[in-house]
Amino acid sequence: MNDIIAILNFFKKVLKYLIKILKKLWYQILIIICGKKHLIKYHDSTLKTLIYDSYKPNFYEDWIFHDDNWNHVINRWENRRLLANGLKLSMIDNYQPITHEVVFENSGIIKFSGITKTSDEWLYIYLDSSKYSFKNFCWIMTICKENEFKEFQFGFRYKDFYNRYRYRFENNKIYFDIVKNGKFYNDINSVPFKMTIGKNYKLNITAVENHFACYIDDKLMLYDIDFKNHFSAGSAAIILWEDNGTNPLRGSVGPLKIYDFDKNEY
């Protein structure tokens, strides 16, 4: 009996893996059908307006800071269960002052130096989504990972902890994910990319309508389409996470700029 159960579990894993492969293949076919030209033309466009620049005095005032003591982090599993059952969250967001683990330098660079004490360490900042909302834009910044840690992610059209698009650097890959109503649709698309520790990279995230692109040093790495167009606008988030209880969260982002594309080019 145990042998039969083991065989069935094996075939279930194989079937699950094959379905995942077929879904990704179908996704790539749809992207080819829709055509990358829709968005690529925006990469070198001069018809864009600077709407956010971190190189300004007191730019830290634009950002909301959180860490692993944030109530949305602590209660995330229960909150995700509530959202999955169609219930609304009644929890009030707790304010957290910026700690020494995140430094907003006058040069427009954000320095992260998180100390890992537990198996669930976070540094989480986002542009105040009550003040900033970007629709068709490119977000250009210099990024650097200063030691190994699990996840370096960049949320865009960010609504809140439970709703956003993201490009995520993890396991020597770049992933495109969607977080919708607390449910994570991970690895919709991915590409191998080994980030060298201590090296600066130019990251460009471009979003026009429901088409998105991730460039590293002006090379197109991922091209993605959200066929359901979950989020038409939102702010931006930078998230560092480690779950091994050892590796500190050290890195930098910036200077960073966000450009809006000229409407007559849409």
What is the three-state SS of 184-232?
EEEEEEEEECCCCCCCEEEEEEEEECCEEEEEECCEEEEEEECCCCCCC
pLDDT score for 193: 98
Q: Is the pLDDT of residue 39 over 80?
A: no
Which is higher by pLDDT, 40 or 123? 123
Q: Compute the mean pLDDT over every residue in the chain, rounded to the nearest whole number.
A: 89
Q: Measured between alpha carbons, how far is 8 from 57 in angstroms, rounded to an integer?
A: 62
Task: Provide the greatest CA pair distance for the chain.
Answer: 69
Residue 228 pLDDT class (50, 70, 90 cuts): very high
pLDDT at 46 (0 to 100): 63
Q: 162 or 91: which carries more pLDDT confidence?
A: 162
Residue 71: band (very low, low, confident or very high) from pLDDT cuts 50, 70, 90:
very high
User: pLDDT band at 1, cuts 50/70/90?
Assistant: low
Nearest Cα residue to 67 out of 111, 99, 90? 99
Q: In what order do the strands lie in the sheet with 163-170?
A: 63-67, 121-127, 235-242, 151-160, 163-170, 173-180, 183-192
What number is the average pLDDT over the span 113-124? 93
Dihedral of the alpha carbons of 36, 174, 26, 265, in degrees to the nearest 10? -20
- At 60, the pLDDT band (50, 70, 90 cuts) reads very high
Q: Label residues 144-170 b or e (16+ Cβ within 10 Å = b).
A: bbbeebbbbbbbbbbbbbbbbbbbbbb
Residues 6+ apart with CB under 8 A from 31: 223, 224, 225
Single-letter amino acid, residue 256 = L
CATH code at 37-265: 2.60.120.560
Partners of 40 in the β-ladder? none
Write down the domain spans for the chain.
1-34, 37-265
Specify the DSSP class assigned to residue 118. Answer: S
The β-bridge relationship of strands 163-170 and 48-53 is unpaired
Centroid of chain to Cα 21: 22
